[in-house]
Amino acid sequence: MGGSNPYLSGSEIKPPKKKYKIRFMPMNKVVEVDPAQLPFGDTGLSGSILDIAMHFGIPIDHACGGVCACSTCHVFVKEGKETCNEAEDFEYDMLDTAPGNTIESRLSCQCVANGEKDLVVEIPGWNKNLAKEGEPSK
C-alpha cells in the first residue's frame, strides 16, 4: 500500500532537477537524492521525504502506507523547508492530530523538496519505529 490517496487532490509538485542531500536526525545520516532515480517506491508522494527515507533504510513510521490518512509519519523539517511543496489543507488536518506539532512540522509522505537546497529532517523520538522494545522513548 502506498502512493497517493485517490480521494485527495493537491497542487502540482515541482520535482527536483539536481542532486541534493537530506540529513536525517537524530541518527545524523546523510543521503544524496538523485532526481534521475526518482521515484524510489510507492510510499507517499513520488520523491517525498518518506519515499526517500524508506529507500535508504531510514525508519519512519507510516501506518496508512503514506497516503495522508494518519499522522504517524510526522517529521520536523529543520532546514530547507522553503524548497518543499506547500502543505495542502488535508495535510494540515492530519497534522492537527500529530503530537508536538510545530511550524516545522510536515507529513513526510506529502513533503517533496525541489532540490534547490539540502534538507535537515528530524524524526521525532516518539516515532514508533525509532523506539525499541524495552528501551525508554526519548
Give domain status of residue 133, yes or no.
no
Q: Is the pTM of this model over 0.75?
A: yes
DSSP output for 103-138? TTEEETTT-BB-SSS-EEEEPPTT-TTTSPTTS---
Strands (E), 49-94: 74-79
Rounded mean pLDDT of 23-51?
92
Give domain status of residue 14, yes or no.
no
Residue 31: pLDDT above 90?
Answer: yes
Q: How many domains does the chain have?
A: 1
Tell me which residue range forms the domain holding 33. Answer: 20-122
Among left, alpha and beta (phi > 0; psi -120 to 50; other), residue 67 is alpha
Give domain status of residue 137, yes or no.
no
pLDDT band at 4 (very low <50, low <70, confident <90, very high): low
Taking only the tens place, the pLDDT of each residue in 98-129 is 999 999 999 999 999 999 999 999 999 876 55
Give domain status of residue 129, yes or no.
no
Which of the pair, 25 or 3, is modelled with greater confidence?
A: 25
Residue 62: pLDDT above 80?
Answer: yes
Q: Are 83 and 115 in contact (CB under 8 A)?
A: yes
Give domain status of residue 91, yes or no.
yes
Give domain status of residue 112, yes or no.
yes
Give domain status of residue 138, yes or no.
no
- Per the prediction, the chain carries an average pLDDT of 86
Which domain CATH number covers 67?
A: 3.10.20.30
Give domain status of residue 54, yes or no.
yes
Taking only the tens place, the pLDDT of each residue in 16-27 is 989 999 999 999
Handedness of CA 18, 19, 20, 25 (dihedral sign): positive
Q: For residue 81, what is the DSSP state?
A: G
